[in-house]
């Protein structure tokens, strides 16, 4: 075969892979190791409390809630004490001015259209009770009002209704009122010489003989006798 017919063999292709036993490969392997995820030790340090947000753990939350509750109660008590002090100063000023302090009971009776019933009549059943009522009227300087009535007497009911008038009731406060059931106390009725119902005897202070009215008294008659 002539020189012109010799075929030259091309050189082997250059491989793109680089052998690991080369220095370059070793360097690359080392860099890969250096660029991996943090080690366990560094991961442990990462999870420590140093990397958590800045806050303080409350050791006993219930105890702090109790303290807060006590402080709220003390604040409320302090406010009540200050109000009481101011009220006391105000009441002291009212007393000095001769006025009624706040919260003090008012002794004067409230205005009302209802009859005054504080002077309760005495239901006398014996002569001794009648004598005691007469002595009390003389001792207190009041009139003695004695009414003898019957339970089935219509005129007695009329006089009872007239006596409920506020003007009459106000005047009766200056009288000792005695009522006698004539049917149940016939002996006392006979002692007083009562022959009909109602019979009313009114004895003024300083008098020895009462003024007697037979039958139901009108409002005008009662006002005249009780004034």
Express each pLDDT in 121-160 by its tens digit.
999 999 999 999 999 999 999 999 999 999 999 999 999 9
Establish if 26 belongs to a structural domain: no
Establish if 117 belongs to a structural domain: no
The answer to which of 82-86, 163-167, 168-172 has the lowest mean pLDDT is 82-86
- Considering the chain, what is the average pLDDT of its residues? 75
Do 92 and 130 have their domain in common? no
User: pLDDT category, 119, cuts 50, 70, 90?
Assistant: low
Do 94 and 143 have their domain in common? no
Do 83 and 172 have their domain in common? no
Residue 129 lies in domain: 122-226
Q: What is the mean pLDDT of residues 28-53?
A: 49
Establish if 12 belongs to a structural domain: no
pLDDT at 116: 41
Rounded percentage of the chain residues whose pLDDT exceeds 90: 44
Mutual orientation of helices 154-163 and 219-226 as an angle, nearest 10°?
Answer: 60
CA 98 – CA 37 distance, rounded (Å): 93
pLDDT at 66: 74
Radius of gyration of the CA atoms of the chain, in A:
58
Establish if 45 belongs to a structural domain: no
Establish if 186 belongs to a structural domain: yes
Establish if 17 belongs to a structural domain: no
Establish if 137 belongs to a structural domain: yes
Do 144 and 75 have their domain in common? no
pLDDT at 147: 96
Q: What is the pTM of this model?
A: 0.49
Do 141 and 180 have their domain in common? yes
Counting beta carbons within 10 angstroms of the beta carbon of residue 217, is it exposed (0 to 12), middle (13 to 18) or buried (19 or more)? Answer: buried
CA 122 – CA 127 distance, rounded (Å): 13
Do 138 and 185 have their domain in common? yes
Do 168 and 201 have their domain in common? yes
Structural domain count, the chain = 2
Establish if 128 belongs to a structural domain: yes
What token pair was written down for 72?
Answer: 């709220």
pLDDT at 4: 53
């Amino acid at each position: 075969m002539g020189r012109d017919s010799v075929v030259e063999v091309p050189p082997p292709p250059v491989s793109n892979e680089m052998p690991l036993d080369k220095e370059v490969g070793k360097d690359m392997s080392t860099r890969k190791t250096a660029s991996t995820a943090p080690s366990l030790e560094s991961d442990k340090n990462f999870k420590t409390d140093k990397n958590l947000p800045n806050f303080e753990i409350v050791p006993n939350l219930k105890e702090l809630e109790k303290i807060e509750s006590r402080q709220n109660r003390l604040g409320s008590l302090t406010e009540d004490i200050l109000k009481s002090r101011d009220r006391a100063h105000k009441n002291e000023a009212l007393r000095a001015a001769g006025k009624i302090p706040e919260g003090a009971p008012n002794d004067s009776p409230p205005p009302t259209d209802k009859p005054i019933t504080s002077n309760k009549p005495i239901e006398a059943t014996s002569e001794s009770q009648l004598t005691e009522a007469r002595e009390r009227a003389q001792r207190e300087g009041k009139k003695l009002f004695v009414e003898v009535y019957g339970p089935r007497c219509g005129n007695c009911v009329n006089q009872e209704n007239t006596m409920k008038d506020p003007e009459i009731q106000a005047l009766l406060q200056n009288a000792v009122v005695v009522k006698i059931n004539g049917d149940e106390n016939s002996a006392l009725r006979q002692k007083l010489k009562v022959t009909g119902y109602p019979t009313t005897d009114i004895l003024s202070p300083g008098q020895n003989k009462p003024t007697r009215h037979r039958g139901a008294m009108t409002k005008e008659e009662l006002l005249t006798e009780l004034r």
